[in-house]
Amino acid sequence: PGSCLALCVCSEPAKTVKCVNGNLSAVPPDLPPYVRTLFITGTPLARLPPGAFSSQRLPDLGALNLSGNHLRTVEGDAFAALPALRQLDLSGNPLASLSPRAFGEAGSPLEELALRGSLRNHSILHNLTATLQSGVLRNLSRLELADNGLLLLPAGMFSALPALRQLDLSNNSLVGLRNVSFQGLGQLQSLNLSGNSLSVLRNGTLAQFRSLPALRRIGLARNTWVCDCGIEDLVAWLKESDQVEGKEALTCAYPDKMLGKALLKISGSDLDCSVPVDLPSQLQTSYVFLGIVLALIGAIFLLVLYLNRKGIKKWMHNIRDACRDHMEGYHYRYEINADPRLTNLSSNSDV
């Protein structure tokens, strides 16, 4: 008890220290060396500098919970001196800066990383991507990115996570997965995409799902599925796949005539896809038709000019003569106004 701060609760039998809802602005410097699980939550802690934790004093720290603080900045080597760290929870922090070197450069033993609600500042997403792609977290098996309002994910974000088994992307605002690659995630078992804004999953994404041998649980609930011709591949995959949890409850959100209809009950007649819709071809046809119409109008205009060439020529001569007479009148009045003698003569013309 004498080695633990007054703001923390320490339990040597449980190997746990809890610093909850205190007034800590930095990591306590006198944490007991026996600690394996450390909670620092609900504090004004805003910054983790290099060497915030020391391996000499915390050689067995395996679980670190820093959720619900005011943490904005995680600097390089902040977690590098924790040789036994397996679980890290940074959820509920307004992160603005995360150094790609936060876990050092030699590789981290970290297996679970929770960032629920910590990526609201979307500029931090690039820092996180650089950290994941650096390969320093190759042992990561669980990654939680839920509740962050993410619209799109950077390409290749998960390319250096070969040990990843659980990926939680739920309750974001993802509108598509076209640039997201799941290749290389051979051990991925669970993928949660519930509560997003997905309207359809394309063939490329579905092919990736099929190619992952360990993937058995995919969550797709609470998405805005658009049930038009583009959803045929997704419906066919749902009917043949056993990877999707609760697929019977997936329903259409648009259009209105399909609202609430179960995706598994959709047939080709419901979608009216007998004639494939090829928008680029339609646009090309429209441009050709417009060109023909404009050429026809131009030809008619030139024909009218040709048939009325005599009248047009006479009209132009009349305009020229009128302009010439008008200009001669102006010239004559200018000569009169410019010569004082002529001006006087004009003024006394009645005399």
Determine the pLDDT at residue 336. 67
Residue 232 confidence (pLDDT) above 60: yes
* Single pTM value for the model: 0.75
* Chain centroid, CA 179 distance in Å: 10
Instruction: Say which residues have a Cβ less than 8 Å from residue 211's Cβ, sequence separation at least 6.
Output: 183
Contact yes or no for 235/203 (Cβ under 8 A): no
- Specify whether the CB–CB gap between 64 and 84 falls below 8 A: no
C-alpha to C-alpha distance for 293 and 318, rounded to whole angstroms: 35
Each residue's pLDDT tens digit, 89-135: 999 999 999 999 999 888 899 999 999 999 988 889 999 999 999 99
Rounded mean pLDDT, 197-226: 94
Instruction: Give the model confidence (pLDDT) of 314-323 as tens digits.
Output: 878 788 877 8
For residue 107, what pLDDT is reported? 86
340 upstream amide cis, omega within 30 of 0: no
Spatial neighbors of 48 by CB under 8 A, at least 6 apart, are 27, 66, 71, 73, 74, 75, 78, 79, 102
pLDDT at position 273 over 80: no
pLDDT of 344 above 60 = no
Lowest mean pLDDT among 5-9, 99-103, 194-198, 345-349: 345-349
pLDDT value at 280 more than 70: no
Q: What is the pLDDT of residue 320?
A: 80
pLDDT value at residue 5: 73
Q: Is the pLDDT of residue 351 over 50?
A: no
Q: How many CB atoms sit inside 10 A of residue 294's CB?
A: 10
Sequence-distant (≥ 6) Cβ neighbours of residue 143 within 8 angstroms: 112, 113, 115, 158, 161, 164, 166, 167, 168
Tokens standing for residue 291: 């060109």
328 pLDDT above the threshold of 80: no
Report whether pLDDT(346) > 90. no
CA 37 remoteness from chain centre? 35
Tens of pLDDT, residues 236-267:
999 999 999 999 999 999 989 899 999 999 98
What does each C-alpha distance from 32 to 56, 60, 88, 281 come to in angstroms?
11, 11, 19, 71
Around 34, how many Cα atoms within 13 Å sit in the side-chain half-sphere?
11
- Residue 339's pLDDT is 60
What token pair was written down for 157? 């974000």
pLDDT for residue 269 is more than 90: no
Amino acid identity of residue 276, one-letter, is P
